[in-house]
Structure 1
Amino acid sequence: MTRNIKFSILTAAIFSMAMQNAFAFEPGNKVECIAPSTPGGGWDFTCRSAGKVLSELGLVPRSVQTVNMPGASGAVGFSHVISKRQGEENLLVATSTAMASQMAQGKYPGGPDQVSWIGTLGSDYGIIAVSNDSKYQSLSELLEALKDDPNSVKFTGGSGVGGWDHLKVLMTARAAGVENIAKITWLASHGGGSAITQVIGGHVSAYSGDISEAGGFIKSGDLRVLAVLSPERLEGEYASVPTAKEQGVDVIGPNWRGFYMPGGISEEVKDYWTHAIDTLYTSEEWKEMMARNGLMPFHVSGEGFEIFVKKQIDDMRSLSKEIGLMK
């Protein structure tokens, strides 16, 4: 064990020197990470866990300081960054799919071009599920029912109307060719657990949420997953769950976690942090962190991340307009 720890430290030190030689930019002694939420939430986890591994790998000279800045589903933190922190080279900001959905609906004081997109560090994936005794045996059966009558299948999940869980249903239906998706019934619940209870009890037809949230009900056999909204089948205990894509519905629904930085930073700075996040993601330390906290593989970075986020925002904005949430 001691030998492995020494080897890991040595490897991190060598890599840190290589990074410093490869990039003109080096991070300063005070690296901050804004978590636009209260302590204990998903954004707080992203800052603290990634900061810990960045330090262990020698990608930052000292520990990363997490600053909690809750308010308006991340909009308070975003406003702070674009108004007061532009151009700062040692500031990371935790983000996720929730930010994209809120930005898509005009609830942020600006758009994606005002910040620099760095990369993702994993994801939880959306699912469409029914009770074990549901009449719907496959995703195609459920979607055919929606095509015949969009109001025939009642969905629920942990978010309100226009939230991420709701949008996943609309994305799936639209990708399958369902018309009049605004007529699909969405019943908001007080959290994912309450939503699942409604489905298991036969009060609602189907559940939309994240697979980790529903894990206990899936294992108990109370909930049957018709599709996971991942690019390919998940590994491990959920390997038998089919994706929507393999069933002919080209849609993915990752609840990803990652970072953006202030706008106005140089390409050298952006390149450094992009490579740092790439390195963190592939490290054994981060793989162990993901396994302990239920995160699943999902990584895009740099320009690819920016393109991905903008497309996701555009898709969510289109859906929100289609169901009457926006003009």
Structure 2
Amino acid sequence: MTHLPHHIKSGRCQKEGPEMSQGDGALGTYEKWDSTETMELEKREQGRAPKGALAIPSIPASSLERAIMLLYILLALTIVIFMALTIVNIQRVSAMWEVLEEARMRSENSHTTAWHNLSEVQHTLDKQLSGELQAIHSQFLNVSREVENMGWKVTQCKAECGKELSNRLQALEEKDVLEPVQRQLAEMKQEQSRTSALLDTVLEEARNLSGILCTRCPDGWQQFAKTCYFFSSSTKSWQAAKEFCATFDAHMPIVNTEQENKFLANHIMENRVFWLGLSDMHKEGDWQWVNGNSLSLSFWNSGEPNNVGDHGEDCATIFPNGRWNDVSCSNAEAWI
């Protein structure tokens, strides 16, 4: 219950003293009462509020709407700025991608041009080299013909000159001449011997030079290190193959180097073997080539030669991998 001030009783204002003027009247008394009542109502409202509660100032509706509108505007500006930055970045990435694509195309074009130029250079060099090789081959053929002609002339001269000189010496010996003439005859014989030896040396050198400058293999033969090789497509026994080679003034292969063995292996078809000119038929374990030389360099397969079988294995063959094996000489194999 709220107590009114002492000067307000029964709804009336009481004068405070003689200082109040007469002009105040009833209106002044009621204004004071209204003010006092208003203050009293505020105190009542404050008394009704729960303890510890804070007074929240009221916000006008117009201010709240302006704040929300401002937030919308800021959000729209943020979205616009984000979209602009995204578009700019996409354009930059597109520009960089186009630059990279142009660089790749230029690189591919440069590689293609380089390969084309290299191919043309190689083709030109091949043509030039082929022409030069043909010219060198023609020169070798001419030199070989000249050497052969020279050797033939030396042989003919040796035969004719030697025959003429022998006839003269024989005629002089048949005559009864003095001792000085006989000494001259002896000197002439010595000179004939020296001349004959010199002619033999020249002829041998001419033949060697011909063999070095030009080795021409027959059709179907393969050349390696100034030697011609023929690889058969049929089969024979070892002895028959040896005799067949002799009819061509040739012999079965004698392997002297690792390079020659690789050459033979490279020309052997898969799943085939070929005879070598190697055997120990004269003495077991003493392997010799067809020219009588003993074996010094060998390429036997693992565990070979083993000389198995009732009749033994006395002749050598070569596999496509270059390894050797001993088999029976009566086997039918291809030959070289």
State the TM-score, normalized to the length of structure 1.
0.20
Which structure would you say has the larger RCO, counting Cα contacts within 8 Å and 6 or more residues apart?
A: 1
Structure with more of its chain in strand, by fraction: 1
Query: Is the helix fraction higher in 1 or 2?
Result: 2
Which structure has the larger Rg?
A: 2
